[in-house]
Amino acid sequence: MNKVISIVGLVLIAAAGVLAAISTSHEDILKSKKELCAKYTKNAQAALANNDIEKAFKFAKLAIKADPENRAGYKVLAQITDAKCKASQPSSAKAAAASSTEADNAKTENKAAQKPEEKASQTAAQPAKPAKPAAEEEEEMGC
């Protein structure tokens, strides 16, 4: 009796797997990759919300690896890089403020007037940049 149950059980398990393999299509496999990428992206965003940059970076890379065609992973990677830059900016801003004089203040006022124009041109140029190079240059990105 036990032997029969064991054989029937094994056949049922194998049958379930074979049926799943036959009934799934390539699109289903791609869909599962997208779902995996979405899960990794969600975990990366959750880690970023908790200020765990290292973990967020790891999940973002896994999201890109799971589905390289999906841009969500690259977007999260860009968010993480921005967060990393913002985290390192306060120390450099303080040093710049401490060393400036009145003449420097006048110069910076002129520069500040020019900055919005530069920022506008930069933001106009940014959407044109493809998302992929951001991922490829992740090692070189710095603030």
**Judged by CB under 8 A, does residue 29 bind another protein?**
yes
CA distance 71 to 63: 9
Part of the chain binding another protein (CB under 8 A), chosen from 27-35, 76-84, 91-99, 103-111: 27-35
List of residues 6+ apart from 43 with CB closer than 8 A? 59
Of residues 1, 4, 21, 95, which one binds another protein by CB under 8 A? 21
List of residues 6+ apart from 131 with CB closer than 8 A? 71, 74, 75, 78
**Judged by CB under 8 A, does residue 120 bind another protein?**
no
Part of the chain binding another protein (CB under 8 A), chosen from 14-22, 87-95, 112-120, 124-132: 14-22
Of residues 8, 10, 96, 143, which one binds another protein by CB under 8 A? 10
Q: Are 45 and 77 in contact (CB under 8 A)?
A: no
Which tokens belong to 78?
């860009």
- The residue with tokens 């003449």 is 103
Residues lying near another protein in the complex (CB under 8 A):
6, 10, 13-14, 16-18, 20-22, 24, 26, 28-29, 32, 35-36, 39-40, 42-43, 46, 55, 58-59, 62, 65-66
